[in-house]
Amino acid sequence: MHGERRREYLEAIGIDLWVSRAAPAPEAAPEPAAPPRAEPVGELSERWEALRAEVLHCTRCPLHLTRTQGVLGVGPKRCDWLVIGEAPGAEEDRRGEPFVGAAGQLLDAMLRAIGLDRTRNVYIANVLKSRPPGNRDPKPEEVAACLPYLVRQIALLRPKIMLAVGRIAAQNLLGTDAPLGRLRGRVHYFGELNTPLVVTYHPAYLLRTPGDKRKAWEDLKFARNLYQQLTQGAVTDGHRT
């Protein structure tokens, strides 16, 4: 990315200096499952549309009683990056798209700072597809009911890396109650495909706590460096180089 443009993006997310830090080497990954066979483009589109229709009208948990619509996600049908947040908010519930409004704009700026564009090379979704009333935290049974949709999304997308934004998303995806600070700065693995997963702050939190934007920027660079290792490096002795 051109230096001047990158500076503009960093300023947009409230960071005015480039601080270089190498990504720690990822921990040993579990053996990934064999990748599923490639299906024709038409079949992929049909599977996405079927999933979207299912989520739109899903009644698997009581959240369907209070939401406007189920919100599957937005982005290309297949891409390397998957960003996962907590759940739709009021605006997302109304518009049917995740991460709109001020938090969405900040997320877009964060992604642009590492060369990603939500319309081209990143898919954005939430753990929960329906809005909890009053934006309360998701209940475990709601997450359990909804998580299979995310698993199906991952099977369709086949991302090379996941970015969990916020404590709720990270804890539910990783099955832990560890604080966000302990989950940042290392590589986790999600699901049967052992997709590498990096944790950072939720943009809505960063809007309330701008002092942590620099830490979020460190996380983004960590994720970007990891992605470069995953796509350009070799895998030896269970460690990615």
- Applying CB under 6 A, which residues contact ligand SF4? 55, 58-61, 63-64, 70, 128-130, 142, 145-146
In the bound complex, what is the minimum distance in angstroms from residue 94's beta carbon to ligand SF4? 15
Give 55 or 114: the residue with its C-beta nearer to ligand SF4.
55
In the bound complex, what is the minimum distance in angstroms from residue 68's beta carbon to ligand SF4? 11
Give 106 or 169: the residue with its C-beta nearer to ligand SF4.
169
Task: State the CB neighbour count (10 A cutoff) for residue 52.
Answer: 16
In the bound complex, what is the minimum distance in angstroms from residue 99's beta carbon to ligand SF4? 17
Task: State the CB neighbour count (10 A cutoff) for residue 140.
Answer: 9
At 178, list the tokens: 């560890």
**Kind of pairing between the strands at 195-200 and 161-165:** parallel
How many residues are given for the chain? 241
Give 154 or 206: the residue with its C-beta nearer to ligand SF4.
154
Helix (H, G, I), strand (E, B) or coil at 137: coil
Give 53 or 102: the residue with its C-beta nearer to ligand SF4.
53
d(CA 146, CA 192): 17
In the bound complex, what is the minimum distance in angstroms from residue 117's beta carbon to ligand SF4? 27
**Kind of pairing between the strands at 235-236 and 239-240:** antiparallel
